[in-house]
Amino acid sequence: MLQKHRIDGLLDQMEAIGLRQMVVRSPILIRYLLDFTPWGADRATILYISRDNGIKLIVNELTIFPKDLDVELVLHGDQDDVCAVLARHTLHDQPLGFDGEYPARWLLPLRQYGAASDYVLADRALNLQRACKDPEEQARLRAASLLNDRVMARVRTLFADGVTERQVAQRITELFKEEGVSGGALVAFGENTAHVHHRASDRALRPGDAILIDMGAPLNGYHSDMTRTFFWKSVTPRQREIYDLVLQANLAAEAAIRPGMPCSAVDAVARDRITEAGFGPCFLHRLGHYIGLEGHDPGDIAWYNHDPVRPAMAFSCEPGVYLEGEFGVRIEDLVIVTPDGCEILNHDPKALEILGL
């Protein structure tokens, strides 16, 4: 069914960038706007959006779709030229926007039909609309994070001397499956925790190792994401120093979040703490990413994003310090921005833990 409040929000964002019409092909975005996922990637399902010209779904007659979408249907068959069909329904004297995944095979021929006065990337309008979650989306994000918390509580029981990263990663996948979802985890031990996107190997766990677990799973279409770092049987003063630094950066950034502050300023709260401690070059990535229908929705909490934080935005807060050849620490929560701060979706403990004692 047409998600009218999301369409209306998108139309407002389109007007803000000077667009009166756009088309969307991405199945994820069509699900966001119509609450159904098109089936069959080889046939065109294209959503046309315009305040002046209406909302139309250009869909192949062989596609299975709900009959109560509350949107004008424009059917075409395999024998039809999809671009010609679409061009009959566009405003030819106005620019036409596209989502970033719109395929070239259904874009370039539109020029031959004079479908629009110009052809422009409209991801910014889509991304700004998606960034702020409506109450239903927020509820789904909360439920997904609570599930992630439950699984993380069980993850603490998976470790033993000699167990490998690969074995733990497989077991976490099984734990998610027991919860009825398809999830997974980045698992790293010891020196491998210094690699931001490490892939699980046969590295075996040894006393004194750092353990980094970055995991999540979608629930009812919305994602979770959380990272915790533990230590196995002992912790060195250097490991404790870095852990405490990353934890304080995480807590400070979450405490600072307010509507209206630039995303870059949120990043700076954590980054400045780590830099002042002398480890700035070891914080290798953005502070966070938006989240929702995708594990990484478009949009970053980073030094290069000066868009303001807005109420109902959902994103991760995950500072990290990575010491090549030694170990790394990352602590990640998800948050939803409130009128005067943020709601932290993860309730799993963050105090330093030494497992295996």
Q: What pLDDT digit, counting tens, does each position of 142-170 carry?
A: 999 999 999 999 999 999 999 999 999 99
| Averaged pLDDT for residues 232-239 | 98
User: 355 in helix, strand or coil?
Assistant: strand
DSSP 230: E
- How high is the mean pLDDT of the chain? 95
Identical fold, 4-130 and 132-355: no
Dump pLDDT digits (tens) for 63-87. 877 777 888 999 999 899 999 999 9
| Averaged pLDDT for residues 321-337 | 98
% the chain with pLDDT above 90? 91
What are the structure tokens assigned to 16, written together? 């803000």
Tell me the CB-side half-sphere exposure of residue 91, using CA atoms within 13 A.
18
DSSP 332: B
Burial class from Cβ neighbours inside 10 Å (0-12, 13-18, 19+) for residue 93 reads exposed
Handedness of CA 198, 200, 203, 207 (dihedral sign): positive
For residues 200 and 349, give the distance between their C-alpha atoms in angstroms, rounded to a whole number.
Answer: 24
Query: Which of these CATH numbers, 3.20.20.210, 3.40.350.10, 3.40.50.450, 3.20.20.80, describes 4-130?
Result: 3.40.350.10
Residue whose tokens read 């750092």: 210
Q: What is the pLDDT of residue 353?
A: 98
Res. 40 pLDDT band, cuts 50 70 90: low
For residues 204 and 220, give the distance between their C-alpha atoms in angstroms, rounded to a whole number.
Answer: 35
Pairing of strands 354-355, 226-232: parallel
Which secondary-structure segment (H or E) carries 31? Answer: helix 27-34
Q: What is the pTM of this model?
A: 0.93
Fold exhibited by the domain 132-355: Creatine Amidinohydrolase (3.90.230)
pLDDT at 209 over 90: yes
pLDDT at 39 over 90: no
Res. 193 pLDDT band, cuts 50 70 90: very high
Residue type, 54: G
In the chain, the N- to C-terminal Cα span, in Å, equals 54
What are the structure tokens assigned to 168, written together? 């733990």
Q: Which residues lie across from 95 on neighbouring strands? A: 118
Pairing of strands 118-121, 218-219: unpaired
Query: Is 44 within 8 Å of 26 (Cβ atoms)?
Result: no
For residues 192 and 189, give the distance between their C-alpha atoms in angstroms, rounded to a whole number.
Answer: 5
* Inter-CA distances, 224 with 75, 126, 129, 220, Å: 37, 21, 20, 11
For the chain, domain boundaries: 4-130, 132-355
Q: Which residues lie across from 260 on neighbouring strands? A: none
Which residues have C-beta within 8 Å of that of residue 227, sequence separation ≥ 6? 212, 213, 214, 215, 318, 330, 331, 332
Query: Is 281 within 8 Å of 321 (Cβ atoms)?
Result: no
